[in-house]
Amino acid sequence: MSGKKKEFNNKSYKQFFESLYPQLCVFGYKYLNDLDTSKDFVQEVFVKVWEDNIAFKNENHAIGFFYLAVKNKCINYLKSKQYKVTERYELTNLEAFETEDSYMPEAVVIETTAVIDKAISKLPEKAAQVIRLSIEDYTNNEIADELSISINTVKDHKKVAYRKLRDFLGFLNMS
């Protein structure tokens, strides 16, 4: 272990990969509009970090590093002659992608969505179903009809879900 930095072992790196890989693939897809290439780039970044045995200050630093590395890999590909010849990508679009402001909000949304989805999956099954439908803008009446339960049961499931989600997601502290 070098200094105070966190190094990954096989198990922790595998867990980190499994938790971050889907979000990074979606993130890369937003640049490339090609899921297969996005997956390849994300895997290449993970392999390079593992081979170089890069240590990070903490998990947030590691996550930021991976998003930036995937972004840079995508931009370099979009700048490449191979891509320009086959896709004729406009340079004006590429310049917009290169600004840091263009990727951070997307990365935050992707990460936050993943965290919230993970928290919802920890809820009791019916409460999770009610919350997922609520997120999709279903009204209490529509949720009751969809799940064949009463409106009062929908409200009860929401109360339970919101209380548990506040506990699960308290670390976000949005205030």
pLDDT tens for each residue of 110-126: 766 777 788 888 889 99
Domain boundaries, the chain: 1-115, 122-175
Instruction: Report pLDDT digits (tens) over 36-69.
Output: 999 999 999 999 988 888 888 777 778 888 988 9
**For the domain bounded by 122-175, which CATH number is listed?**
1.10.10.10
On whether the pTM is more than 0.75, the answer is no
Q: 157 pLDDT exceeds 50?
A: yes
Distance CA 132, CA 13 (A): 30
